[in-house]
Structure 1
Amino acid sequence: MTRKIRVIVADDHDCVRVGVRRLLSAASHIEIVGEAADTYGLAELLDSCVCDVVVSDISMPGIDGGSNAVSFLRRVLRGRPHPCIVVLTMICHAHMLSGLLHIGVGAIVDKRDVATALIDAIEAGMAGRVYLSEQARTAMEAADTPVQLRAGILSAREWEVFQLYVQGLAVHEIAVRLQRSGKTISTQKRSAMRKLGLETESDLIDYARQIGLT
């Protein structure tokens, strides 16, 4: 008998968790092994039970304060091994969605698409495929600067520079810290912004805030 896909559901709205539970319970190959209303509860579940997939909202209170679960999910995705992350959201900002894919989120489902897309997203994530529900894909395709799935992924060095810059370090300070030339740091910063579709400093800071870097 094929083992069921073990899923944790995390959302701070009871009605969403109830709806997701009902939907997934109807799928014979999926088993819900836990539910959480914030990242504190999600962290406890990840420590106490084995799961294959986490279905999670990102506007959810908890460990990092505010209502942003992205920083916590990023830490989960840095672990080895780690569960597949399926984000369930109403956010429709193209570069925010692209940023979620960049940190390793396997699938994004707009809450308006849940009934038709969530099981497909879970199965795609388990198979290692990137998945976007219809509303999420439409949002990305409608961006002024087209976003290509994983095509604009930052290199390790570009991501390092990007993180330090949004933390408040100037280009020359980053150059000293990383022992590279100021010209190289500037080039890597511009390349990171171009790949992420960010045109201004304001765009850069707003993007960093949305994905939980600031």
Structure 2
Amino acid sequence: MQGMPIDKTTKMRQKIRVIVADDHDCVRVGVKQMLQSVPHIEFVGEAADTHGLAELLDACACDVVVSDITMPGIHGGSNAVPFLRRLLRGRPHPCVVVLTMICHAHMLTGLLHIGVGGIVDKRETVTALIDAIEAAFSGHVYLSAHARAAIEMADAPPQLRAGMLSAREWEIFQLYVQGLAVHQIAARLQRSGKTISTQKRSAMRKLGLETEADLIDYARQIGLA
């Protein structure tokens, strides 16, 4: 995909190129009009689902994707998170700012752990979205007031980038929610069961998950189960 950020030496003299993805026409129209009124932002395209977003990213260079997470996915359903997760694991990739009405703390925390650069509640002012785009483009993490309040109400607030899962923790997490037992994961990865259990607990702690039910619920929300 061509959605690659420009390097730091050109950030100050080029516009921030933005694609907007949302399955509600009124949201896309409103965000488009708002972005087109900001001199240092260039609106380069819009999509109503992840299929359209993928096509745009292949056709247009962009720096920031502003996306809802409950729009139709490429493989059905109304969950765009699996697509965004794959996008953010690519190199290079655009920044992602999520625009949502979801206020579930584990879900919002999970978005931060997959590398989302900003989360803005749709009830916020347009200024919050502009601030999020600018922050993500500059390599920072932005939470709007509603999103931050929702996360801070959780028992285990996120550690943002510092708390991201390691590659091994993420692999173990995925295998576990796919139904493999700890001893099966240990055999597959040629590690001890104790090591796998420790890394599983570490992953749950970083994600703010306390119980097995929390783990499965979280996995379902981000499209892994």
Q: TM-score range by the shorter chain?
A: over 0.9
Deviation >4 Å, runs of 4+: none
Q: 2:6 corresponds to which residue?
A: none
The TM-score with structure 1 as length reference comes to 0.96
Q: 1:97 corresponds to which residue?
A: 108
Asked if 1:156 corresponds to 2:167, the answer is yes
- Superposition map of 1:150-189 within 5 A: 150-189=161-200
Q: 1:19-71: per-residue Cα shift (whole Å, max 9, x none)?
A: 10111111011111110000010000001111111000000103031000001
The TM-score with structure 2 as length reference comes to 0.92
CA contact (8 A) 2:165 2:203 kept: yes
Change (3 A) 1:38 1:161: same
Q: For 2:120, which of 103, 109, 119 is the aligned residue?
A: 109
Q: For 2:146, which of 119, 124, 135 is the aligned residue?
A: 135
Q: Which runs of 5+ in 2 are unaligned?
A: 1-11
Q: 1:165-200: per-residue Cα shift (whole Å, max 9, x none)?
A: 001111111001000011111111112112212111
Q: 1:49 corresponds to which residue?
A: 60
> For residue 217 of structure 2, what is the amino acid of its counterpart?
D
Identity %: 81
CA distance in 1, matches of 2:155, 2:201: 18
| CA deviation after TM superposition for structure 1 residue 148, in Å | 2.8
The total of aligned residue pairs comes to: 214
| CA deviation after TM superposition for structure 1 residue 111, in Å | 0.6
CA distance in 1, matches of 2:47, 2:125: 18
Q: 1:87 corresponds to which residue?
A: 98
Q: Which runs of 5+ in 1 are unaligned?
A: none
Asked if 1:213 corresponds to 2:224, the answer is yes
CA distance in 1, matches of 2:86, 2:160: 21
| CA deviation after TM superposition for structure 1 residue 76, in Å | 0.9
> For residue 107 of structure 2, what is the amino acid of its counterpart?
M
Change (3 A) 1:114 1:59: farther
Change (3 A) 1:150 1:95: farther
> In structure 2, the residue corresponding to 1:76 is in which secondary structure?
helix
> In structure 1, the residue corresponding to 2:20 is in which secondary structure?
strand
> In structure 2, the residue corresponding to 1:113 is in which secondary structure?
coil
CA distance in 1, matches of 2:149, 2:13: 34
**Structural RMSD (CA):** 1.3
CA contact (8 A) 1:12 1:61 kept: yes
> For residue 186 of structure 1, what is the amino acid of its counterpart?
S
> For residue 57 of structure 1, what is the amino acid of its counterpart?
D
CA distance in 2, matches of 1:145, 1:118: 26
